Amino acid sequence: MSRYSNPTMKDVAREAGVALGTVSKVINNQPVGEEYRIKVENAIKSLDYKVNTYARGLKTKQSYTIALILPDIINPFFASIAHYTELYLFELNYKLMLCCSQGKCEKELFYINMASQNKVDGIIALTYSDISSYVSEDLPIISIDRHFNNTVLCVASDNYTGGYLATEKLIGAGCKHPVYIRTGSVVYGETNKRKYGYLDACEHNGITPDILDLTDGDDTIECFRNFLEQSYERKDVPPIDGIFTVNDYLGFQLIEYLHSIHKDIPEDIQLVGFDGIQHFGSLGYYMSTIAQPVERIAKACVDILLSPDKSKYPNPYLLPVEYKYGGTTLL
């Protein structure tokens, strides 16, 4: 072996004093005698041999690469998904191909096509578009929060329970007029169930529900300002004293606006978000929230995607949520 070249499997076999096939079996985790396995592992360590995953992929028809499609990694929730997904893939000797779509359908489709052409072993996707007709049955895919078709398994938090719990917390803390505010995609997904939890909690407590349902592209703050002003003009209901937002980011935006119009939180208006971020960067606010088990979501996506029998998992595959106090509620 040249002093300037990288060691090969032949070099490892020569160093260990075993056949080339034995080295191949050890590297590919196939059964081999313990004495031979130790010799090969010691030779690999001694030579600092690195497995050529590209060449290995050509032989096994696997790339050991998983594509992860997210709207962005600026939002701490999405960044956490990326962090834990990479962590679990690395433990299994897989690489992560990270794709940020900015929630644009054309970018999501571009990345799905790119991932297919690069022969990744699967895709984990959190999308805002209806891409059902573009998902091939030949490429394993796990969806976070969105339903595509019966062949694509969806991993999500228990959004209904989270919505119910958030509303119960507001009512339990004394709110007489808790409202639900949502902004997001028009494509149906598991996150829509947060509203159903809110509605059922209101009905259970004898409270008339009040919802501001916006879509991507709406001027969120302007719509909220009008919604708030109109509610103060009504005589049939108490003034808004509680807000449940579809996610923490929207919650932080509303907190900032409420402070600008001199509303005290939680004294005037209590607020519960959803995700579990609690503290959002430069905004410097803390908030009460329904926390999603981000680490468990990432692990479930990886485990299910790489499982040889996906039929044993329920669809959707739901994970529990919990309430975390953050100062924007009285309790």
Q: What is the DSSP string of 43-69?
A: HHHHHT----HHHHHHHHT---EEEEE
If we measure between CA atoms, which residue out of 71, 231, 251, 92 comes closest to residue 146?
71
Share of the chain above pLDDT 70, in %: 93
Domains for the chain: give ranges and CATH numbers.
9-51 (1.10.260.40), 65-156+295-319 (3.40.50.2300), 159-293 (3.40.50.2300)
pTM reported for the whole predicted model: 0.83
If we measure between CA atoms, which residue out of 70, 74, 135 comes closest to residue 101?
70
Residue 115 vs residues 63, 74, 100, 140: alpha-carbon distances, Å: 11, 22, 13, 11
Q: Identify the pLDDT of residue 80.
A: 95
pLDDT in tens, the chain (331 residues): 555 568 888 899 999 999 988 988 888 778 889 999 999 999 999 998 876 654 555 455 678 999 999 999 988 999 999 999 999 999 999 999 999 999 898 999 999 888 878 779 999 999 988 776 777 777 899 999 998 877 789 999 999 999 999 999 999 999 999 999 999 988 889 999 999 999 999 999 999 999 999 998 899 999 999 999 999 898 888 999 999 999 999 999 999 999 999 999 999 999 999 999 877 665 566 899 999 999 999 999 999 999 999 999 999 999 999 999 999 999 9
Q: Identify the pLDDT of residue 247.
A: 95
Q: Identify the pLDDT of residue 143.
A: 95
The DSSP code for 192 is: G
Give the three-class secondary structure for 203.
Answer: helix
Q: Identify the pLDDT of residue 331.
A: 93
Contact criterion met (CB below 8 Å) for 234 and 205: no
If we measure between CA atoms, which residue out of 6, 7, 11, 274 comes closest to residue 158?
274
Token output for 97: 């191909």
Pairing of strands 317-319, 322-324: unpaired
Q: Identify the pLDDT of residue 306.
A: 95
What burial class does residue 19 get, using C-beta atoms within 10 Å of its C-beta: 0-12 exposed, 13-18 middle, 19+ buried?
exposed
Give the pLDDT confidence of 54-80 residue by residue, as tens digits.
Answer: 455 545 567 899 999 999 998 899 999
Q: Identify the pLDDT of residue 3.
A: 52
Is the preceding omega at residue 316 within 30 degrees of 0, hence cis?
yes
Strand arrangement of the beta sheet that strand 95-100 belongs to? 95-100, 65-70, 122-125, 141-144, 153-157, 317-319
Alpha helices in 118-187 (DSSP H): 159-172
